[in-house]
Amino acid sequence: MTAHETPAEYWNHNTHYHGLVLRHVPGGCGEALDVGCGDGLLARRLAPRARHVTGLDRSAEMVVKAKTLSEGVGNVDFVEAGLLEYDLPAKHYDFVCSVAAIHHMDFTAGMAAMRDAVRPGGALVVIGLADNAGPKDFVYGAAGVPAHLLYSRVLRRKHAGEPGAPLADPDMTWGEVRDEALRLLPGAVFRRRLLWRYSIVWHRPR
């Protein structure tokens, strides 16, 4: 494997939270959607838990990579499209997730599109990044440094990898993300996580 290749399984700040995402896949999941799927790692991890998984990404390079790495996984398909340009069927998916992708688009429109695609009894999980707004945010962020150093030493040394997906800086603060998410998703749970991420978990009532 060359320095420019990514292993099929690897660890970084985003994949660290794949386990959290997978814990919320409903039993008997039929259709699952991974928004901003990148090289398809999370979609492949979803495959044993759903009848069918769709990975959506606007990067042609990432979709090609995802298809290549996912050869032999028969229940996963990848689509080259941005979320806001893709005609998602309403209330179609038992599970919708997105990791480190929502800040690449309009937050309100993206979250609403994913929400509207979840069928009754289904779940939506979003892992994202936000910007610091003041001293409290910086202090909280500093708490992630020891965890980063520990995980980097224990996990990244053996399982390092980056998919090479396009990068962007978040333009919403933690508070803005929380407030807008809870407005759009009544009953959702917002939590700020170590390693400079947040999680949003929402279940559509039956």
Residues with Cβ within 8 Å of 101's Cβ and at least 6 positions away in sequence, in order, are 35, 36, 83, 128
- Of 59, 202, 62, 26, which is closest to residue 126 (Cα–Cα)? 202
pTM of the model as a whole: 0.87
Q: Which two tokens stand for residue 69?
A: 């790495």
pLDDT at res. 110:
98
Q: What is the pLDDT of residue 155?
A: 56
Q: What's residue 13's pLDDT?
A: 87
Rounded distance, CA 196 to CA 182, Å?
A: 20
Report pLDDT digits (tens) over 7-50: 567 888 899 999 999 999 999 999 999 999 999 999 999 999 99
Q: What is the pLDDT of residue 11?
A: 84
122 versus 151: which is more confidently predicted?
Answer: 122
Q: Which amino acid does the sequence have at 201?
A: V
Check whether 94 has a pLDDT greater than 70: yes
pLDDT at 174 over 80: yes
On whether the CB atoms of residues 25 and 70 are closer than 8 A, the answer is no
Answer yes or no: is pLDDT of 127 > 80.
Answer: yes
Task: Give the per-residue pLDDT at 133.
Answer: 77
CA distance 110 to 13: 22
